[in-house]
Structure 1
Amino acid sequence: MTDLEYMDRAEALLASVEACCDRINEATDADIDNQRVGGMITLVFQDRSQIVINLQKPLQEVWLATRAGGFHYRFDGTRWKDTKGEGEFFADLSRYASQQAGEPLLFSP
């Protein structure tokens, strides 16, 4: 994948996360504060815990940092897969955000 293709896909991922936060805030009491600076989004939950999503252009990866740990994702042609082969970005984000918010949340592309 070229750098331009990576950036297009990675920017679409970040835009989806932002749109999901807006939808979640309208539909639930989760009240996620999302702040974007360049290629990084920080999600802040009511208990002040955070999830950070960060683009890693040189590696063509997206990194996810949660209370549960840090994870790296690479686009496999159809979706963003954990580089250790253990998960998919939006499923993992949904799981960890739900844990930190204390209620079920769904993030999707």
Structure 2
Amino acid sequence: MTDLEFMDRAEALLSALEHGCDRINDETDCDLDSQRTGGMVTIAFANGSQIIVNLQKPLHEVWLAARSGGYHYRFDGAHWRDTKSGSEFFADLARCASEQAGQPLRFAPA
């Protein structure tokens, strides 16, 4: 994957994450505060916890930091997969966000 391809795919991932936060705020009583700074999105929860998603351009990876741990994702041609477990980014994000919000939340690619 070229740097440009990585940035296009990573930008689409961050955009889908932001839209997911907006949708959750519109459809539920969960109050997520998402803020983007360059290649990083911080999601803050009502209980003070956070999830941080940031791009690691030199590695062509997306990193997710949550209460449950840190995860590194690479694009496999179809999905962003964790480099250790092979789990999919949006499934992991939904699991981590649900744990931190105390209610089921759903995220999906655009």
- Smaller-chain TM-score bracket: over 0.9
Cα distance in 2, alignment partners of residues 15 and 86 from structure 1: 22
Q: Number of matched residues?
A: 109
Structure 1 stretches of 4+ moved >2 Å? none
Cα distance in 2, alignment partners of residues 86 and 49 from structure 1: 25
The equivalent of 2:105 in structure 1 is 105
Q: CA RMSD in A?
A: 0.5
> What's the TM-score, normalizing by structure 1?
0.99
The offset of 1:101, in angstroms, is 0.3
The equivalent of 2:95 in structure 1 is 95
What pairs up with 1:1-109 in 2 under 5 angstroms? 1-109=1-109
The offset of 1:41, in angstroms, is 0.2
The offset of 1:45, in angstroms, is 0.2
The offset of 1:85, in angstroms, is 3.0
> What's the TM-score, normalizing by structure 2?
0.98
Structure 2, unaligned runs of 5 or more: none
The AA in structure 1 aligned to 2:67 is R
The offset of 1:19, in angstroms, is 0.3
Identity of aligned residues (%): 67
SS in 1 for 2:22: helix
